[in-house]
Structure 1
Amino acid sequence: MKEFKFKKIDAFATVNSMGNPAGYISLDSFSDITDKEMLQIAKELKGFVNEVGYIVKTSADEFELKYYSAEREVDFCGHATIAIMYDLLKNDIDLQQFDSLKIKTNRGVLTVENKIKEQDAVFIQAPEPFEKALLPDSKDIAKNLKIEINEIDPDFSVSIINAGLTTLLVPIKTQVSILNIFPDIDELKEFCIKSEIDIIEVFTKDVSNKSNNFRTRVFAPTFGYLEDPATGSGNSAFGNYLLGCKLWETETIIIEQNSFKDQYNIVKLQKQTDGKGDIRVFFGGGAVTRMEGKYIIQ
């Protein structure tokens, strides 16, 4: 029998929304748990949380993270990172002295900005992005999303960008169209696997609150569930898309995300220049702890 410290934390939650649930296992060392056991926990928590993050502290201001869905190990999970790092910075007085922390992930070493005092939030540097040239046909995209081809907005391009996860970005004309997308999980999973993508993010400039910039929804059938209600990696891919198209017009981009018109989650994007002179996307938000205890596996 093994026993681990466990929390269930909802990332990107607001007073009007539930956020995105993540499991959080704190470890002294990754030698304390096997890959099989990490996957087992994620499978047991399917339907309760979308992914489980596992974290080890490696120095005073550095950590290593691994992520699992019910299906497989995930290279990077934005909402789990927000949940875990927000919880650590919010509750650890020693960590609060640092303006930033470093986290080691499968997608490289990333910066975590401590904005707890100023914004009650943390901002995570998205992994370095890369773009995929080969795109699925728009008719095939519409068919698998179960929308009409004319609902795809011709004023924006379809694109595939990886900023943590390989993300198909699909522009939609109206919020009404976005909110009425109800694909079949098995058909969409087959389409994603065939297209070699992890998730699909649909977006529109048609928002519920005019002080926000975009509405998005994210579908993640390859991870064992249909919709991700608030995402860091998907919206970071979207942020890099906006940079590439020269459509990033404000200092901070505020994104409404999920399938509810007025009870949406909020994801914020900011941009900064790194040490190499490249503009990097940071995604940010807060989190709410819903459950804390011990997780036992046998």
Structure 2
Amino acid sequence: MTELKKVTVQILNAFTENDKGGNPAGVVLDADALSHNDKLHVAKKVGLSETAFISRSNTADFKLDFYTPTKQIAHCGHATIAAFSYLKQLGKLKGNTSSKETIDGNRKIEIQGALAFMEQLAPTYVDPVERENDILNSLGLTKADLLPNAPIKVVNTGNSFLLIPVKDVKTLQDITPHFDAIENISEAYDLIGYYVFTTDALAHEIDATTRMFAPRYGILEEAGTGMAAGPLASYLYDVLQIKKTTFQIQQGKYMLPPSSSAIEVQLQLENEKITGLMAGGKGVVTRKLEVNV
């Protein structure tokens, strides 16, 4: 009879806003002995949108593997912030800079006070104009609900997200997502999911408030998505021509139940062109789970 291994999973809320809300992620230390199937089993048992598994790396300070309850993904913003916030709290980071190895290459990590930041790449843009009506229908929206002169775009800074600018907070709040349709369009464009946002009626310290739908990855709605906030900040700078280097993104305020998250994105520029970015926030430990594999 095979002996079961007990895996300890720390649950941290990442991108907390004033230490409240945020997006929960699982974090597993010393995951070197776990197989792909083990990790998938643990992520499914944990049941959160993503769990990060930390193991030794020959090319970076740590190797991170990210799993949803249904599959492995290349990057995950809030699980990265959760993992490095936890490593910092345990005293396992030597300084304020670190790095992660992923299945899609290595990325830099920075610690700024209580916040952890992760590197993302320069943005690329795709215009899905031929599917605009399908996209709107999948959210119960019409063209009149969109922010004027702000095209729907697929934006990638490491993962692809569909950015959909709506005209006001009420429109964002009243979205009716049709998850089968969202999943089909996500499959067609190889998306993690939809990132719907508005710049309307916000406190002066917030640049946009958002909702994120990713049924293709088993996530109906997510409270904080660092890998989507990077594309959004890039869109605000490049498409909406908001020429600043630091953006404050809010997410999750209008999901049910609400879980408001705060994500800061710092753009890296050369000759006013984005060459990369750092997206970050705070991770707070909330509880611990034990999973047998």
Q: Do both proteins adopt the same fold according to a TM-score greater than 0.5, normalized to the shorter chain?
A: yes
Q: Post-superposition shift, 1:73?
A: 0.7
CA distance in 2, matches of 1:175, 1:99: 37
CA distance in 1, matches of 2:138, 2:229: 21
Match of residue 36 from structure 1: 37
Are the equivalent residues in 1 in contact too, given 2:107–2:118 (CA < 8 A)?
yes
Q: Post-superposition shift, 1:140?
A: 1.3
The structure-2 alpha-carbon separation of the partners of 1:103 and 1:207, relative to structure 1 and needing over 3 Å to count, comes to farther
What SS class does the counterpart of residue 57 from structure 2 fall into? strand
Match of residue 98 from structure 2: 101
Are the equivalent residues in 2 in contact too, given 1:207–1:213 (CA < 8 A)?
no
Query: Alignment partner for residue 269 of structure 1, among 256, 265, 282?
Result: 265
| Mapping 1:144-293, distance limit 5 Å | 144-245=138-239, 247-260=241-254, 264-272=260-268, 279-293=275-289
The structure-2 alpha-carbon separation of the partners of 1:42 and 1:207, relative to structure 1 and needing over 3 Å to count, comes to farther
The structure-2 alpha-carbon separation of the partners of 1:41 and 1:138, relative to structure 1 and needing over 3 Å to count, comes to same
TM-score, structure 2 length as denominator? Answer: 0.89
Are the equivalent residues in 1 in contact too, given 2:22–2:259 (CA < 8 A)?
no
1:80 pairs with 2:74: no
* AA of the residue aligned to 2:223: P
TM-score, structure 1 length as denominator? Answer: 0.87
Match of residue 30 from structure 2: 27
Are the equivalent residues in 1 in contact too, given 2:194–2:213 (CA < 8 A)?
yes
What SS class does the counterpart of residue 126 from structure 1 fall into? strand
The structure-2 alpha-carbon separation of the partners of 1:56 and 1:227, relative to structure 1 and needing over 3 Å to count, comes to same
Q: Deviations over 1:210-233 (max 9, x none)?
A: 221111111111111211111111
Query: What RMSD, in angstroms, separates the aligned Cα atoms of the two structures?
Result: 2.4
CA distance in 2, matches of 1:170, 1:105: 28
* AA of the residue aligned to 1:171: P
Gaps of 5+ in 2: none
CA distance in 2, matches of 1:103, 1:200: 26
Q: Post-superposition shift, 1:138?
A: 2.0
Are the equivalent residues in 2 in contact too, given 1:71–1:222 (CA < 8 A)?
no
Q: Post-superposition shift, 1:145?
A: 0.7
Q: How many residues align?
A: 286
CA distance in 2, matches of 1:152, 1:133: 15
Are the equivalent residues in 1 in contact too, given 2:135–2:182 (CA < 8 A)?
no
Percent of aligned positions with the same letter in both sequences?
23
CA distance in 2, matches of 1:16, 1:174: 27
Match of residue 51 from structure 1: 50
The structure-2 alpha-carbon separation of the partners of 1:215 and 1:293, relative to structure 1 and needing over 3 Å to count, comes to closer
What SS class does the counterpart of residue 254 from structure 1 fall into? strand
Are the equivalent residues in 1 in contact too, given 2:253–2:261 (CA < 8 A)?
no
Are the equivalent residues in 2 in contact too, given 1:110–1:127 (CA < 8 A)?
no
